């Protein structure tokens, strides 16, 4: 089926096969290997990308049904730099295999949440529950997000 896929602001005209997964199209056809291929069953979150700014598991999403704008970790290199630095500073990754999915999930969470919600570690942990990380115990990941919370500095000086 001939389809047009909008990925990181570029239009790709593709002949999509049956239930071909979005993850495989991104990695194998477009060369965007940031989204990781791990469980391939929708259980680990390593393949998380955004579709119209909402997190989606690319391994269980047929590419042919995607209608919105797809954003991969390659497409947010600049926007995610403060978050990447916070992950590094706070020990938010060790092996790093889960990190692209964590970053994409975190960007969506930061975009839709208040500083108070991000400050609540339980809220952050709940949002990241679908992104499995075996290395870090999540504490560093939660701190990294909290460092990047919207208006955090402003609110801190307002107190
Ligand atoms: S590879 Fe997609 S959820 Fe694990
Ligand atoms: S940093 Fe190793 S699985 Fe997340």
Cβ(45) – ligand 1 distance below 6 Å:
yes
72 and 8 in a common domain: yes
Structure tokens at 84: 């990447």
CA distance 32 to 9: 13
Q: How many domains does the chain have?
A: 2
Taking residues 143-149, what's their average pLDDT? 95
Asked if the model's pLDDT at residue 152 lies above 90, the reply is: no
Question: Ligand 2: distance of its center to the CA of 95 in Å?
Answer: 5
Question: Ligand 1: distance of its center to the CA of 155 in Å?
Answer: 36
pLDDT computed for residue 155 by the predictor: 46
70 and 108 in a common domain: no
Task: Check which CATH number belongs to the domain holding 91 and give it.
Answer: 1.10.150.120
Residue nearest to atom 3 of ligand 2 (CA): 133
7 and 69 in a common domain: yes
CA distance 28 to 58: 13
- Residues of the domain holding 104: 81-153
Average of per-residue pLDDT values in the chain: 93
pLDDT computed for residue 159 by the predictor: 36
pLDDT computed for residue 151 by the predictor: 66
94 and 30 in a common domain: no
85 and 65 in a common domain: no
**Cα Rg of the chain, angstroms:** 16
116 and 96 in a common domain: yes
- pLDDT tens digits along 15-68: 998 899 999 999 999 999 999 999 999 999 999 999 999 999 999 999 999 999
44 and 62 in a common domain: yes
pLDDT computed for residue 1 by the predictor: 80
- pLDDT tens digits along 70-113: 999 999 999 999 999 999 999 999 999 999 999 999 999 999 99
User: Which of 38, 59, 76 represents a domain boundary (last residue)?
Assistant: 76
83-120 core/surface letters (b: 16 or more CB in 10 A; e: else): bbebbeebebbeeeebbbbbbbbbbbbbeebebebbee
Task: Identify whether 159 is part of a domain.
Answer: no
pLDDT computed for residue 150 by the predictor: 79
């Amino acid at each position: 089926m001939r389809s047009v896929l909008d990925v990181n602001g570029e239009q790709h005209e593709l002949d999509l096969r049956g239930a071909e997964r979005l993850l495989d199209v991104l990695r194998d056809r477009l060369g965007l290997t940031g989204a990781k291929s791990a469980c391939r069953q929708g259980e680990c979150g390593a393949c998380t990308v955004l579709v119209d700014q909402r997190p989606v598991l690319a391994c269980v999403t047929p590419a042919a049904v995607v209608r919105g704008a797809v954003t991969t970790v390659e497409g947010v290199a600049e926007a995610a730099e403060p978050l990447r630095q916070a992950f590094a500073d706070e020990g938010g990754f060790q092996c790093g295999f889960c990190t692209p999915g964590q970053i994409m999930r975190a960007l969506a969470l930061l975009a839709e949440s208040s500083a108070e919600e991000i400050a609540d570690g339980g809220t952050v942990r709940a949002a990241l529950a679908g992104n499995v990380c075996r290395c870090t115990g999540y504490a560093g990941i939660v701190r990294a997000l909290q460092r990047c919370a919207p208006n955090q500095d402003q609110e801190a000086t307002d107190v």
